[in-house]
Amino acid sequence: MISRLINWTVKVIFSLLVILATIILVRAFDARRFPDLSSWHRPIIDSEFSVDASKHITTLQDYLELEEKVFDEINREIYQSHPPNTLLPLSRYSSGSRVDPENFDQNWNRSFELTPSHIRGGALMIHGLTDSPYSMRHLAKLFQSNGFYVLSLRMPGHGTIPAELIDATWRDWMAATYIGAKHVRSKLQKQLPFYIVGYSNGGALAIKYTLEAIEKQALPKPDKLVLLSPMLGVTFFSRFTDWHKVLSWIPYFEKFRWLNVLPEFDPFKYNSFPKAAGKQTFLLTREINKQLIKFTKTGEIEQLPPMLTFQSLVDATVLTSAIVNRLYSRMTVNNSELVLFDVNRLSKLDEFLHQRHNVLYKKITQADHLPYTLTIVTNINEESRQVMAKTWTPQKQQQTVESLGLEWPSKIFSLSHIAIPFPEHDNLYGAVGPNISNNYINIGTFSPRGERGILTVPINILMRLRYNPFFGYIEQRILDFTEE
C-alpha cells in the first residue's frame, strides 16, 4: 500500500514537472516573437547606485554625483553610439528627437529639488516603477508653493534605460529612500513637519520606510504620508516572474527575460518591462505585508502616521483591495483617509463595463465600522457626468455628500493607475494637444483608429488614460491635509 502511494506521488510530481517545463518552454519560444532587442535592452551602466554602494554613498550630494556619472554613461553608450541614419524620430534614445529628454525644459528623469523662499516643511517624493521624477513634478510645485522644501529622488534603475531594471532590487530603492529621507529632514528645523509622497511603487517604498522608521529610532519618521495608487498588492502570478532564468541566460532565449519589448516613445517612462522588475515589486509588497501583520499583533500599528491615499477603484497595475485589506483595515483611528475614484456610472456606459469592481465597492461602503475616513468620488446620478464626493467618517459613521463642480470628460469610463498624478493640462500626458514649443508630443490625446494589427504598440497602451480630470480636487485635498 505504501509503495503504491509512493509510486503514485512520484508520478504526480513528475507529471507536474513535465507540465511546468512545457509551459516555460512554450513561453520562451513565444517571447522570441518580440521585436529585436536594442542597446537599451541590455545592461550597460556600471556606476548605478545600489544597496552595496550605500556603504560609501551616504549623502544626497554623493548620490547626485553618482547620478551624474550614470547619465554620462547613458550619453556615451546610447546617444553617442548610434549612427545618424539609425535614429528614430520618436525614440527617447535618438539624440535631438522630439522625445529626447534633453530637449525639454529640463531632463525630468533626474532627481530634482525645489526650495521655497521660506521653508515651513519638507517632502520627499518617490516615483513609481518604470517611471521617473517627472510624475512628481506637479505635486512638487504644489508643495513648494505651500512652503515645503521638496526632494524628488530618482530611484536606481529608472530614468535611464529599461535594461537597468533587470538588476535593480527593492533593497536598492530602499537604500536610496534612506538617503532622501535623511536629507529632507536635515533641511528642516526640528518642529517643522516632514512628509513622504509616494506614487505606485514609490507608495510602497514610503510605507516600507515608515515601518522601518517605527522600528529604528535613528531613522527620521515622517509626520504624514500622501500616497497615490500605492503598490501594496500585485497579481498572484508576479511571484513566478523570475522563472525565465531557467532559459533566458541562453542567447537564443534572451528575450524571455522581458514581459514586453516596445518602442520607447515616452521620454520619462519605460514602455519595455523586464520580468525581474515585477519580481521585485512582489518581494517588496510581501515584506510590507509581513511587517503590517507583525505590527497589528504587537500594537505598533498605532504608531503609523496619518495617511491620505488616492486610488482608482479599478486599477490594472495594483490591487485596490490590498490597500483596503492589508493597510487601511488594520489601522487604528489616526485621521487617515482613503479617497477612491469610482468608475463613470453613466447609464449608457454601464452595459459595457465589467461588474467585478462592484464587489469591493459594496464591501467597504456597507462596512459597519471603518477605522479611517472613506471618500468615494462618483457620479451624482446615472444620468449625469457631474461628480460628488461621498464621505464616511469613523467617528460619525454617517455619510456626507459634497458636490465638486467637476465632471467626467466625454468618452472616459474610468481613471487608470498611471493617470492619478497628472493634471489635464500636463503637456505630455494631458488633454491639451501638442505644445506650441514643438518640444512635446502629446501622448495623452493620441487615440488612433484604423485596422487592427498595424500599430507597433498595443492599442490598449495607447488607449489608457494618462491624465486625471479630478487632479484639482487632489491638490485641494492635499493642501487641506498639510494644514490640519
Domain boundary among 304, 330, 349: 304
pLDDT for residue 238 is more than 80: no
pLDDT band at 437 (very low <50, low <70, confident <90, very high): very low
The answer to whether residues 354 and 475 belong to one domain is yes
The answer to whether residues 314 and 416 belong to one domain is yes
For 188, the grid coordinates are 528642516
> What domain count does the chain have?
2
pLDDT for residue 426 is more than 80: yes
- Within a domain: residue 191? yes
User: What are 13-55's pLDDT values in tens digits?
Assistant: 767 666 766 766 667 667 668 788 988 998 888 899 999 998 9
The answer to whether residues 405 and 275 belong to one domain is no
Q: What's the pLDDT score for residue 43?
A: 86
- Within a domain: residue 154? yes
For 398, the grid coordinates are 454617517
Q: Which CATH number covers residue 253?
A: 3.40.50.1820
The answer to whether residues 182 and 136 belong to one domain is yes
- Evaluate whether 140 touches 152 at the Cβ level (below 8 Å): yes
Mean pLDDT of 247-261: 79
Q: Rounded to an integer, what distance in angstroms lies between the CA atom of residue 388 and that of residue 345?
A: 12
* Cα-based distances in Å from 315 to 61, 164, 320, 413: 37, 26, 7, 13
The answer to whether residues 335 and 410 belong to one domain is yes
The answer to whether residues 415 and 295 belong to one domain is no
Q: Rounded to an integer, what distance in angstroms lies between the CA atom of residue 396 and that of residue 380?
A: 22
Which residue type is seen at 402?
E
- Within a domain: residue 453? no
Q: What percent of the chain has pLDDT over 70?
A: 89
pLDDT for residue 316 is more than 50: yes
The answer to whether residues 376 and 275 belong to one domain is no
For residue 397, is it left (φ>0), alpha (ψ between -120 and 50) or beta?
A: left
User: What are 124-172's pLDDT values in tens digits?
Assistant: 999 999 999 999 999 999 999 999 999 999 999 999 999 999 999 999 9
Domain boundary among 277, 304, 331: 304
Q: What's the pLDDT score for residue 239?
A: 63
- Within a domain: residue 70? yes
User: What are 179-200's pLDDT values in tens digits?
Assistant: 999 999 999 999 999 999 999 9
Least confident of 94-108, 246-260, 287-301: 246-260
Domain boundary among 259, 284, 304: 304
pTM: 0.92
The answer to whether residues 372 and 290 belong to one domain is no
Q: What is the residue-wise DSSP string for 285-336?
A: HHHHHHHHHHHHHHTGGGGPPPEEEEEESS-SSS-HHHIIIIIGGG--SSS-
pLDDT for residue 232 is more than 50: yes
The answer to whether residues 279 and 208 belong to one domain is yes
Residue 362, burial from CB neighbour count under 10 angstroms (0-12, 13-18, 19+): exposed
The answer to whether residues 332 and 273 belong to one domain is no
pLDDT band at 357 (very low <50, low <70, confident <90, very high): confident
Q: Rounded to an integer, what distance in angstroms lies between the CA atom of residue 429 and that of residue 418?
A: 10
pLDDT for residue 449 is more than 50: yes
The answer to whether residues 281 and 326 belong to one domain is no
- Within a domain: residue 452? no
Q: Which domain holds residue 165?
A: 32-304
- Within a domain: residue 402? yes
Strands 399-407, 386-392: pairing is antiparallel
The answer to whether residues 207 and 326 belong to one domain is no
- Within a domain: residue 450? no
- Evaluate whether 420 touches 229 at the Cβ level (below 8 Å): yes
